[in-house]
Amino acid sequence: MMAIVPITGTPGQGALYPLIEPGPSGLVKRSYALIDHLRSVDKRRIRRIFGVVSSGEMKAIDQGLVLFLGLEVQPASQGA
């Protein structure tokens, strides 16, 4: 299984909709990752790779996933 984040051309607001620029990503227009539509699919359903997101775009996607999945590390509370 693989986790995928769908892409849309409709602009979104906030950390759950990071911008993906056209070009090396394989996209022909500005698009947005839909972090809140995260889903898992069988690897056999992935037929080909269209492009690659930049490291900055991947960092924005990762940050959105941390927020969406509640993976943010909470600081340890200090006892008295």
CA distance 72 to 22: 30
pLDDT at position 60 is 97
13: CATH:
2.30.30.110
The pTM of the full predicted model, rounded to 2 decimals, is 0.83
Residue 30's φ and ψ, nearest 5 degrees, are: -55, 135
Q: How far apart are CA 1 and CA 35, in angstroms?
A: 18
* Domain enclosing residue 23, as ranges: 2-69
Cα–chain-centroid distance for residue 45? Answer: 19
Number of structural domains in the chain: 1
The answer to whether residue 80 sits within a structural domain is no
Per-residue pLDDT reduced to its tens digit, 6-55: 999 999 999 999 999 999 989 999 999 999 999 999 999 999 888 999 99
Does any domain span residue 18? yes
Q: How far apart, in whole angstroms, are the C-alpha atoms of residue 65 and residue 35?
A: 6
